[in-house]
Structure 1
């Protein structure tokens, strides 16, 4: 950690509260600290704790973990940081690891490009007026005591998943998205609400493949595949088709550039900039509830395969990814693959476990063997 952190100054920051905005400043406090892993990971970040550090390092046996506050970086940037940390660790153990596959050279200074605001660079077209999605099925449940995060992981074969997705003529991400939508539709139907609402997911999209950038800061947008039961019943094949065509239609350079331009225009609004932060906070909190929580039933993110140099491969068994605590007691889903092992995580503060249970049961019924692990006590 001491060798790696100086190479990534955008991770070595703290959050400060100004009169009009929160902002980052370099954190010159000792640390961040390496701690023994905990049973309930991804706890909320308290800006005045741990000397203001927004990254955490944990170890347990042969497990190395990194937690990153999402305002610091997205999944793609955090994985580059983590990959470099693993390379430095293995070099300290005497192995020769090349600086390839995204691994940064810790003996070189950080580049200006890694710290750029890529949103601002590509906000050049007419912004798209975003339509706020309808209120979605919320998939809430009984809240656990504070600082409790239930984590359930499923491990399965990438080859088996790829073959199954190919049988539907879709990608692995599209297939798993459709499975989660089907499970949530069935769950809502079992609850027999007075009115069934759309089931919708927030799917973060890494923008770097469409807008070349070396930034390690956030550079993502979110798309919203949804199924509305008010339109009638859907077979799973129809859900898969809906997801496939929705993602292919909405994930393109033109659509995403218009969306990110709208986001940038909002943050650079002159009137908004002069509103004091004590007034901004309650308004932004309401806006997050209306636009960030209300239109979604949950989140599913898949940063893709974790590729490393062949010299590192014998030292890594598998990768895991966990989304942090949500503002509401609902589970969120994330997946990542390494070699032929796909790891799928459900994490949340809800006591009930029927979402993840039915998700993995669906995969098994569809012919995909799954090994399940959890930190739940029952």
Structure 2
């Protein structure tokens, strides 16, 4: 998931479009000429960059899917989306362009139309074709897909929304579940706090590594195409191998498998480049700062590997990844990272610079730092489901769209005892993906592989 320094605003700094009048800091706006009142909210610290850099080539969209044990009925799914969307203030919105800032405004249009999947995933969400919404829902056979523009929420926020859509769908589809009613689950959060602002501390230095990283190259797939591999494995089995054989976490083990595969496939080019193989790793900040926000609340740390010899073992690389990440994932360091970002926002928010000029500056900053990472690997965690729905759900998985310089990304998702390691690629070649899963299988972990055919 992309992270870049982005700008926040306060009510007193904001000048909205001509048809909206700003009210108090409480977050309500009122349209002029007697139109229906709309509430609005700020983009969070991380979200500001996404509208600026979004394009058909860099969509800033991710997908989370729920695989059921039955075929999906389109009409029932549409009814579920229609019922759930108005209950989620963070998703029942449209993106607006102000004089100085982008912001989110309540969307009074019907929920977006559910469609059967017919194209490659994570394409740009054209709001003009989507009732102005920044998410879309599709289905294919037994799978319900939620695709989200990153300005709305990170993976944690999106999981809550998808889970409620699935719950509602199952209640509508199964007589025995209808007695449960249509209320939201007690575990579902609707909190829209900008937790960055509540927790940041002033006077922090830049914590990011911005030197250029090694970038994977290859022959590209056709425009809009994406190759996706899902590797299904036992959560208990991979945990035992990671901990007992290598002394690392599951996250560190799978990052090491990716690094090992690139090292084996691209060794000569990697060495000639003289640049490190750097993996950006998003860290969910909620456990560190006691937040239940559904907005973006994460920062990036990075695992770095710069080969000094030809014969690294997988165990050596796993140990290097472990040491690199453990030293960074502390409350103090994470606070320093996002405090630097928010401090930059404070600096920029005081300047009444028109949005087009801000966009130029932000694009320049992003383009200058976009080559700092080889890839992004994110773990969205173990997805919990209420007991009464578990027997209807087979699995969850997630993957990311490409970003500049990063054409091969990976995600980790788990549900009950099944972990899914998903690799999305814009390249025709599949050598790296195959080496990743070969290493996992070599360690005795039983694997089931699934591919969308994008690389064929």
TM-score (norm 1): 0.91
Higher strand share: 2
Q: Secondary structure at the match of 2:263?
A: helix
In structure 2, C-alpha distance between the alignment counterparts of 1:271 and 1:264, rounded to whole Å: 10
- 2:332, 2:208 → 1: CA distance? 17
Deviations 1:214-244 (A, max 9, x none): 2100000011010111477633222212222
- The one of 234, 240, 263 equivalent to 1:163 is 240
**Structure 2 match to 1:107:** none
1:222 equivalent to 2:222? Answer no
Query: How far apart are 1:326 and its partner, in Å?
Result: 2.6
Superposed displacement of residue 88, structure 1: 1.7
Matches of 2:415 and 2:290, distance apart in 1: 25
- Deviation (angstroms), 1:91: 2.1
Match of 1:198 in 2: 276
Name which of 255, 266, 287 aligns with 1:209.
Answer: 287
- Using the alignment, how far apart are the partners of 1:16 and 1:297 within structure 2? 32
- The secondary structure found in structure 2 opposite 1:178 is helix
Secondary structure of 1:333's counterpart equals strand
Please list the CA deviations of residues 174-205 of structure 1 after superposition, one character each: whole Å capped at 9, or x if unmatched. 11111111112222214466333201111111
CA deviations on 1:100-145 (whole Å, 9 max, x unpaired) are: 57336xxxxx5xxx11111100012432322433211111222222
Alignment of 1:20-39 (within 5 A): 20-39=100-119
Does 21-30 or 199-208 show the bigger shift?
Answer: 21-30
Q: 3-state DSSP class of the match of 1:148?
A: coil
Unaligned runs of 5+ residues in structure 1 are 105-109
Are the structure 2 counterparts of residues 329 and 175 from structure 1 closer, same or farther at C-alpha, using a change threshold of 3 Å? closer
**Are the equivalent residues in 2 in contact too, given 1:43–1:325 (CA < 8 A)?**
no
CA contact (8 A) 1:149 1:325 kept: no
Shift of 1:11: 1.0
Q: TM-score, normalised by structure 2?
A: 0.76
- 1:280 pairs, out of 326, 341, 358, with 358
Three-state SS of the structure 2 residue aligned to 1:162 is helix
Distance 1:312 1:47, change over 3 A: same
Contact 2:413/2:419 (<8 A) preserved: yes
Q: Distance in 1 between matches of 2:270 and 2:280?
A: 24
Show structure 2 runs of 5+ residues with no match.
Answer: 1-80
SS at structure 2 position matched to 1:91: helix
- Corresponding residue of 1:41: 121
Task: For residue 310 of structure 1, report the CA deviation from its aligned partner.
Answer: 1.6
Quick one: structure 1 residues 15 and 203, their matched pair in 2 at CA, closer, same or farther if it must change by over 3 Å? Answer: same
Report if aligned partners of 2:375, 2:406 keep a CA contact under 8 Å in 1. Answer: no
Cα 1:329–1:227, aligned 2, differ >3 Å: closer, same or farther?
Answer: closer
Distance (Å, rounded) in 2 between the aligned partners of 1:208 and 1:192: 36
1:48, distance to aligned residue in structure 2 (A)? 3.4
Match of 2:165 among 85, 109, 120: 85
Contact 2:90 2:152 in 1 (8 A): yes
Alpha-carbon deviation of 1:87? 1.6
Q: What are the residue-to-residue correspondences of 1:319-330 with 2, within 5 Å? A: 319-328=396-405, 330=407
The aligned residue for residue 148 of structure 1 is 225
- SS of the aligned residue for 2:287 comes to coil
CA separation of 1:279/1:47 partners in 2, compared to 1, >3 Å: closer, same or farther?
A: farther
| Cα offset, 1:328, TM superposition | 4.2
Q: Which deviates more from structure 2 when the two are superposed, residues 9-18 or residues 277-286? A: 277-286
Which runs of 4 or more aligned residues in structure 1 lie more than 6 Å from their structure 2 counterparts after TM superposition? none
Q: Please, which moves more after superposition, 206-215 or 262-271?
A: 262-271
- Shift in alpha-carbon separation, 1:33–1:329, aligned structure 2, 3 A: same
- 1:53-92 map, 5 Å: 53-92=133-172
- RMSD (Å), alpha carbons: 2.2
Give the total of aligned pairs: 369
